[in-house]
Amino acid sequence: MSSPQWDRITEFMKKFIERPLNNAFLNPINPEVDNLPDYNDIVTNPMDLTTVKSKIENKQYGDATQWYSDMCLIYENAIKYHGQKENTHWTDIAEFLLKEFKKTAKHFNVKDTSEWKAMLT
């Protein structure tokens, strides 16, 4: 990705991570510490905001769609895990944050990841 792409993504992440509801999604899940012993049985591709931020800082994303997908994956994983547990509190929070993230993309007239990539290019 070009420097302007990194700059826009980095700026977005700073603001998005600061949202208080994102505190639960900042760090990787530790099944033992977080008392979610079956988490890795249900979620096969864990993702968190700190990992995304690190991948941005280390320029590990080849394009914006990879970043967009990882951002969605954070909340989709929570919805998947807590939905199976019928834990509506965490499911509701994850659904809200996923919608907020996608709404931000929509604000830039982005409907899907290919449009998101084009917008950032």
SS3 at position 53: helix
Q: What is the mean pLDDT of residues 97-106?
A: 86
Whether 1 has a pLDDT exceeding 60, the answer reads: no
What is the tens place of the pLDDT at every residue in 41-73?
999 999 999 999 999 999 899 888 899 999 999
* Calpha distance 102→110 (Å, rounded): 9
Give the mean pLDDT of the chain: 86
Q: What is the pLDDT of residue 112?
A: 61
Residue in 9, 120, 119, 23 with CA at minimum distance from that of residue 71:
9
* Calpha distance 70→32 (Å, rounded): 24
SS3 at position 63: coil
Quick one: how far is CA 66 from the chain centroid? 11
Q: Is this structure's pTM higher than 0.75? A: yes
